[in-house]
Structure 1
Amino acid sequence: MKLLSAAAAISACLLMSGNIMAQNIQIKVDDKAFTGELNNNDAAKDFAAKLPLKLKFEDFGTTERISYLPKPLSLGTAPRNCDPQKGDIAYYIPWGNLAVFVRDFRPSDNLVPLGKLSSKSLEVIQESGSKDVEISLVK
């Protein structure tokens, strides 16, 4: 019984932090399409509601590729900080941009965790140059 209670407590904690994955997405450049997953938090849900999107990504230093969203995300109760790892998708509040991390980064405020890309999706975004990247929901 204690094991079940511990599992329920961990699940509740993950759900509240927005780390449980909720929605699959597709990342497509040219004819290459791979998947990712969005977290189960208010900001990720708002991002999903805005899909499909065509975005152009640019390098931001050597740690991330960024793209500006057409409209700001509604954050609701989503966490406003995270410790991004390679493959993570996040929303940077001050600039209103989407950030895809190509390397691990340090814990950061004003960075909302949105989800995680598969290694192939990350590779496609890294190699996209100035091409359109289509992001859509997987139905």
Structure 2
Amino acid sequence: MRKKLLPFVLSALLMGETVMAQTIEMIIGEQAFTIELLEHDAARAFADRLPMTLTFENFGSTERIAYLKQSLTIGSAPTSADPKVGDLAYYIPWGNICVFVKDFRHSEDLVPMGKMSFEATKALKESGNQPVTFRPVEKKQ
């Protein structure tokens, strides 16, 4: 299996595409949305803590943020990003998860964590102070 997967991963890296590692779910009210996490230490550290319920707040008109109880282990994850709408990220100095609802400029100390669909981003943007739960995707048998 590794021999079959390795060429795909290498070609994706060489072509500048992002390799997604894991799919998780975000639950708001009765709706579930999938989020594709990136393949790096910080994203794995986040996924390892799931399930987790957070309350998001607006940070300006550009992002929604929620604070984690403990900071994430960054490891070899990238520590800067050019966030676009739907990007899930981790801001190192404040220890918060953020979701961009508008494109933003290049930012240091911002770890890209994953990508949300337009629908998921819109739901989070409109969620107010509702609890938002992140959980692993249940594997179908």
TM-score grouping bracket, smaller chain normalisation: 0.7 to 0.9
1:1-139 aligned within 5 A? 10-13=11-14, 19-139=18-138
Query: In the alignment, residue 46 of structure 1 is paired with which amino acid?
Result: A
Residue 36 of structure 1, CA deviation: 1.0
What is the percentage of aligned positions where both structures have the same residue?
47
Query: In the alignment, residue 90 of structure 2 is paired with which amino acid?
Result: Y
Q: Deviations over 1:32-60 (max 9, x none)?
A: 11111100011001000011110000000
Distance 2:48 2:9 in 1: 29
Residue 10 of structure 1, CA deviation: 4.4
Query: In the alignment, residue 32 of structure 2 is paired with which amino acid?
Result: A
Q: How many residues align?
A: 132
Q: TM-score, normalised to structure 2's length?
A: 0.87
Q: Deviations over 1:55-74 (max 9, x none)?
A: 00000000000000111000
Distance 2:51 2:104 in 1: 28
Q: Any gaps of 5 or more consecutive residues in structure 2? A: 1-7
Asked whether the 8 Å contact 1:18–1:78 carries over to 2, the reply is no
Partner SS for 1:77: coil
Asked whether the 8 Å contact 2:12–2:18 carries over to 1, the reply is no
Q: TM-score, normalised to structure 1's length?
A: 0.88
Number of the residue aligned with 2:5: none
Q: Deviations over 1:104-135 (max 9, x none)?
A: 00111000000001111111111110110011
4+ long deviations beyond 6 Å: none
Asked whether the 8 Å contact 2:24–2:136 carries over to 1, the reply is yes
Query: In the alignment, residue 59 of structure 2 is paired with which amino acid?
Result: F
Asked whether the 8 Å contact 1:25–1:135 carries over to 2, the reply is yes
Structural RMSD (CA): 2.0
Q: Any gaps of 5 or more consecutive residues in structure 1? A: 1-6
Number of the residue aligned with 1:4: none
Partner SS for 2:69: coil
Distance 1:8 1:27 in 2: 26
Asked whether the 8 Å contact 2:13–2:19 carries over to 1, the reply is no
